[in-house]
Amino acid sequence: MAKVIVSIRDLEYTYLPGTPLASVALRGASLLVHQGEIAALVGPSGAGKSTLVHFINGLLRPQRRGQVLVLGQDLGAPDCDLTSLRRQVGLVFQFPHQQFLERYVGDDIAYGPRQMGLPLAQVRERVRWAMELVGLDFEAFVDRPTFSLSGGEMRRVALAGVLALRPQLLILDEATAGLDPQGRRQIHQVLRRLRDKEGMSILLVSNDMDEVAELADTVTVLRDGKTVLAGPLKEVFSHPQDLSRCGLGYPAGYQIVQEFAQRGIDLPGAPLRLAEVEEAIWRALSS
Ligand SMILES: Nc1ncnc2c1ncn2[C@@H]1O[C@H](COP(=O)(O)OP(=O)(O)O)[C@@H](O)[C@H]1O
Ligand SMILES: [Mg+2]
């Protein structure tokens, strides 16, 4: 079993506690992320997903209840080293323009490595590497103003800016929401490459069950600030009623398998990913 790099247990959190505006966001949230996996965090809007991930790089600190352990550090400890943590945990927000710090693409992606005090040659090398990973041509994009980018390009620049820090853990908070299918597919390819070739661990916050089914190794379901279901992908999707109770849909692959079952054709192995479903259909048809 792979090493656990994020372990959150029974976390509670209230915004503006003790004021008339107090709002309870987490009431017993738990989350595990293992080294080298894509872990999905899903749940309806307002469930507390963004609040929860803000604990992982120390933007929020535990109040009274709950434990947050990230890459060997206890975020509840007063001597926790947030600077080193923020270099190891890269967070990509939902709205990329919130992330841009510079006017030009190259400068923006270089911002993090420059802050780390890396020599110029290394900064340039990292910018090139990160741009290549996300599929942005270096020469074509390095001098483009960030305001002139399309939505999909903005996401990729924001992602490259975080990757340039070479984080051990990459967190995407609904970073593919609102992208067109092609833009989303490109990001998916990047994420798979990061996991498979770079050994990066990825926490994907998403509301898109198709995306989760295609990419995730494990899934954690959050509802009203509480973790209600967690485990390997297939295990979590074997409780479809629980998912629908949380206002979440089913992935397309799951629906296809159900429709075949209703017509008396069993597709064995409970396939979820479309490629697996297709293979199972071919096997069923040829047997
Ligand atoms: N900065 C904030 N101040 C007060 N309440 C907040 C703040 N951010 C989020 N909340 C509240 O916390 C709850 C969880 O929100 P959030 O973590 O953004 O959920 P999600 O990301 O799953 O949509 C919601 O009820 C939301 O209104
Ligand atoms: Mg959110």
pLDDT band at 60 (very low <50, low <70, confident <90, very high): very high
Residues 113-136 have a mean pLDDT of: 93
- Give the pocket of ligand 1 (CB within 6 Å): 15-16, 23, 25, 43, 45-51
| Strand 201-205, strand 38-42: pairing | parallel
- CA 25 to ligand 1 center in whole angstroms: 6
Q: Output the CA 225–ligand 2 centroid distance in Å.
A: 12
Q: Ligand 1, atom 18: nearest CA belongs to which residue?
A: 50
The pLDDT value given to residue 72: 93
For residue 79, give both structure tokens: 């001597």
Ligand 1 centroid–CA 51 distance in Å is 6
Atom of ligand 1 nearest to the CA of 51: 17
- Among protein residues, the one whose CA lies closest to atom 6 of ligand 1: 15
pLDDT at 201 over 90: yes
Identify the band that residue 71 occupies on the pLDDT scale cut at 50, 70 and 90: very high
pLDDT bracket for residue 238 (50, 70, 90) = confident
- Res 150: pLDDT: 86
Please report the domains of the chain, with CATH numbers, ordered by start residue.
Answer: 4-98+166-250 (3.40.50.300), 251-287 (no CATH)
- CA 106 – CA 138 distance, rounded (Å): 8
175 or 31: which carries more pLDDT confidence? Answer: 31
How far is it, in rounded angstroms, from Cα 178 to Cα 184? 9
- What pLDDT, on a 0 to 100 scale, did the predictor assign at position 93? 85
pLDDT digits (tens, 9 = 90+) for 103-116: 999 999 999 999 98
Task: Give residue 52 CA to ligand 2 midpoint distance, Å.
Answer: 9
Better-scored residue on pLDDT, 149 or 270: 149
pLDDT confidence of residue 245: 85
Q: Decide: helix, strand or coil at residue 226.
A: strand
67-70 and 73-74: which strand pairing? antiparallel
Q: Which residue in 259, 260, 261, 256 sits closest to 275, CA to CA?
A: 256
Percentage of the residues of the chain whose pLDDT score is greater than 90: 70
Ligand 1 pocket check: which of 21, 23, 45 to mutate, most ligand atoms within 8 Å of Cβ? 23
- Which of ligand 1's atoms lies nearest the C-alpha of 54? 17
Determine the 3-state secondary structure of 30 from DSSP: strand
Counting ligands in written order, which one lies closest to the CA of residue 21?
A: 1
What's the rounded Cα separation, in Å, for the pair 106 and 143? Answer: 6
Q: Whose CA is nearest to atom 4 of ligand 1?
A: 15
- Distance of CA 174 from the midpoint of ligand 2 (Å): 7
Residue 220, class by beta-carbon neighbours within 10 Å (0-12 exposed, 13-18 middle, 19+ buried)? buried
Determine the distance separating the centroid of ligand 2 and the alpha carbon of 265, expressed in angstroms: 39
pLDDT computed for residue 95 by the predictor: 76
* Mean pLDDT, range 240-257, rounded to an integer: 86
- Nearest CA residue ID for atom 3, ligand 1: 15
